[in-house]
A and B are shown apart, each in its own frame.
Chain A
Amino acid sequence: MAEAAEKTAIPTQLPDAGGHFGVFGGRFVSETLMAALEELEAAWRKYIADETFMARLDSDLEHFVGRPSPLYFAENLTRKMSGAKIVLKREDLNHTGAHKVNNTVGQALLAQAMGKQRVIAETGAGQHGVATATVAARLGMKCVVYMGSEDVKRQSVNVFRMKLLGAEVVSVEAGSKTLKDALNEAMRDWVTNVDDTFYVLGTVAGPHPYPAMVRDFNAVVGREARRQMLDEYGKLPEALVACVGGGSNAIGLFHPFIDDTDVAMFGVEAAGRGLSGHEHAASLCAGRIGVLHGSRTYLLDDDAGQIIDTHSVSAGLDYPGVGPEHAWLKDSGRAQYVGIDDEEALAAFHELTRSEGIMPALESAHAIAYGMKLAAERDPDEIVLVNLSGRGDKDINTVAELEGMTL
């Protein structure tokens, strides 16, 4: 391997001791979960300061996940846009095909260190479920994955992968039958089985310490990318682009660049069928501040405060809330959040596939679409670094169906 995997170091200025990023975040859960969250926070703080634990994590990231993931200069796409250089951070090359495994490797090691024999997870697109089932198989843990029944239908390949890995997949019929309902159900399982169960939450949302912990496990993406930019291009990029559902791949890329104020940050939300209506999942672009899934953040609700059903062509972005650190980055002005609709994302899916031979996940295709737009507006000596957070194999049935084909 040309370079060693990035050594995990934990940057933490925010959140505060109560898990707040400014007015966002916190711990809005029933008392029944508070002790479990306190136990988790204590274990996380203990083990991220433990050299043996961190050496094991770094070794797993190198040998099991395949880190570091390379930067790739998308030369053909750059030529087409005739603007800034488009560089991709290749999280799609990770074991299991997305950035999600960075977090599940970390949390599963933590679960093992805490002596928990059973892990549970929620999943939308199925990537986090697969990543959790994968590490559970390796560590010999029982694994239960909650998935909205709508998502079970549109991500049947990932459902089968989870089952092959030995996980039990529970189809959730409540509410909108998507990611938010899977998260509710996972929380209910956790509160019931709190003694022997570790909840591997898949994004930077939820109650403290999840937003900070999941960020720390994904920040390897940004740390690597920052060093690779300096090594390979001799400078930092002018802009970072990443898709945002709950926001874990975006925070992973953004966080190590927060103090580099010359680097612009763009989070790309799912604009679905357009931000003017309700058929989207863009809580930062079109939502309001409220309380959902354990933290104060931007979310999509009606005037009565009921959470509304969201829509995106990509199951992984189809979520009515967002991680509280993104809410803070938005209000502080450090990052900007934009929307890409279903059609633009599909077009970008095809464009990257045909021009570079890289098939992106539909989630990541949102970032690609905005990265192309942004590059076209920028000078050729600038660099737009796009997080290619996952690969598109899981989405071929969805794409075929949308385009009227039967496989």
Chain B
Amino acid sequence: MNRIDARFEQLRRTHRRALIPYVTAGYPGPDATVPVLHAAVEAGADLLEVGMPFSDVMADGPVIQEACARALEQGTGLDQVLAMVAEFRRRDADTPIILMGYANPIERRGVARFCEEAAAAGVDGLLIVDCPADEAADMRAELARRDLHQIFLVAPTTTDARLKRAAELAGGFLYYVTIKGVTGAANLDTASLAPAIERIRAAAGVPIAVGFGIRTPEHAAAAAESADAVVIGSALVERLGRADSAAAAVETARDYLAPIRQAMDNTASSQNDVVSA
């Protein structure tokens, strides 16, 4: 069973909402990434998103642009990202890892070869920001052959027809982008979240993660009231960028994520189980 499915099954049984931190691989330095991922798990992360640096991150805001640029300057390409995942797996066999990035570096490597290498390294899913379901047929086949999930985005602007298609093709979970904008752009509008999640839940049988604009324990707790998982990206990456060593980055991740975990658990413990089977 794919680790993502196993993890959501376990979360459902324990009435726990997933915390999914995102880190850009190789940022603030190549030696920080694996220790930060372990620290995130220790602080309560249930799944991990690892960003593959790209030169033209069209859907990302200034924080992740800067992180990608600095990671690339320090030589973090696909080989290094996969090596980091393999190294992480030596100490953690269970926490699912989703690689997040853009299509061109994967196309250059070759989709089949990349999927093979990702599976071998211990990756569980791919979220290719600029490869929507419409263009994803080749990649989906290669991923399916290796029991890897392709994670699709749903936006506030996603039409019913597109939502239906995403629901049909979804593996692992659907990622609901809470705001109109790029990553890190604005704060979560908690009022509009619940109806949006309900709409997706009515169409899709997979768990629903929410991301973009979640920066505080309060945001995370509010999101955890309706969603199955909460993604924290730019706000964490921004803090990691201020760390001047791998050790400092580890401490930053732990200090930032622990209160978020706690706030989510306080919310979840007072709720009924709404996680989809």
Output the residue of A293, A303, A306 with the most chain B CB within 10 A: A306
Say if the beta carbon of A117 comes within 8 Å of chain B: no
Q: Contacts of B232 on A, CB cut-off 8 Å?
A: none
Give chain B interface residues in 31-77, CB to chain A under 8 Å. Answer: 54-59, 61, 65, 69, 72, 77
Say if the beta carbon of A66 comes within 8 Å of chain B: no
Q: Contacts of B59 on A, CB cut-off 8 Å?
A: 29-30, 32, 187-188, 191
Number of cross-chain contacts by CB at 8 Å: 125
Say if the beta carbon of B198 comes within 8 Å of chain A: no
Q: Is the CB of A194 within 8 A of B58?
A: no
Distance in angstroms between the alpha carbons of A29 and B61 in the assembled complex: 15
Q: Contacts of B108 on A, CB cut-off 8 Å?
A: 288, 290, 301, 303-305
Give chain A interface residues in 24-42, CB to chain B under 8 Å. Answer: 26-32, 34-36, 38
Q: Contacts of A18 on B, CB cut-off 8 Å?
A: 134
Q: Is the CB of B55 within 8 A of A191?
A: no
Q: Is the CB of B152 within 8 A of A191?
A: no
Q: Is the CB of A38 within 8 A of B159?
A: yes
Q: Contacts of A292 on B, CB cut-off 8 Å?
A: 56, 104
Q: Is the CB of B132 within 8 A of A175?
A: no
Number of A residues contacting the other chain (C-beta, 8 Å)? 39
Q: Is the CB of B55 within 8 A of A307?
A: yes
Distance in angstroms between the alpha carbons of A34 and B156 in the assembled complex: 11
Q: Is the CB of B180 within 8 A of A191?
A: yes
Distance in angstroms between the alpha carbons of A31 and B152 in the assembled complex: 8
CB-CB contacts of A171-193 with B at 8 A, as 1s and 0s?
A: 00011000011001001100111
Q: Is the CB of B56 within 8 A of A184?
A: yes
Number of B residues contacting the other chain (C-beta, 8 Å)? 40
A305 CB → nearest B CB, Å: 3
Say if the beta carbon of B259 comes within 8 Å of chain A: no
Say if the beta carbon of B177 comes within 8 Å of chain A: yes
Q: Is the CB of B130 within 8 A of A30?
A: yes
Q: For A32, give the chain B residue with the smallest CB separation.
A: B155
Q: For B136, give the chain A residue with the smallest CB separation.
A: A28
- A30-B59, A291-B107, A306-B105 known; A188 vs B182 contact (CB < 8 Å): yes
- A28-B135, A305-B105 known; A192 vs B185 contact (CB < 8 Å): yes
Q: For A289, give the chain B residue with the smallest CB separation.
A: B107
B130 CB → nearest A CB, Å: 5
Q: Is the CB of A30 within 8 A of B159?
A: no
